[in-house]
Amino acid sequence: MAVLPPEATYQEFCKYVEEHKGSKTHDELLDLWEWRQKLLGLRIHTDRAWRERALAPDEIHLTRNEREQKVIAEAKAQGRNIEKV
């Protein structure tokens, strides 16, 4: 098994650790298990849902700065003069 799945049990985790890192004490295994549970509980908020609702399909993966540059380039292409306030 190359990567331990998130739903793995404690016994599977212990076996995985011993295969890849060698034998560990019971306390070390408990610490590693607790650390794994914390990491599996992390969520990364990327505003993906907001981006899909609010932005055009070609702008979803652009950063705020890139979107600003795109708006300025489109305005200049239409002959408008853009000045930052």
Domain range list for the chain = 10-40, 48-77
Q: 47, 37, 28, 50: which is closest to 6 by C-alpha?
A: 37
Q: Regarding predicted confidence, which is higher, 34 or 47?
A: 34
Residues 56, 61, 63, 68: what is their CA dihedral angle, to the nearest 10 degrees? -30
Please give the average per-residue pLDDT across 10-20, as a whole number.
Answer: 94
3-state SS of 57-72 is HHHCCCCHHHHHHHHH
Q: Encoding tokens for residue 7?
A: 């739903």
Q: For residues 20 and 32, what is the distance between their CA atoms, to the nearest angstrom?
A: 13
Give which of 47, 73, 49, 70 is closest to 59, Cα–Cα: 70
Average pLDDT over residues 22-41: 94
- Whether residue 1 is predicted with pLDDT greater than 60 in this model: the reply is no
* Residue 23's pLDDT band (cuts 50, 70, 90): very high
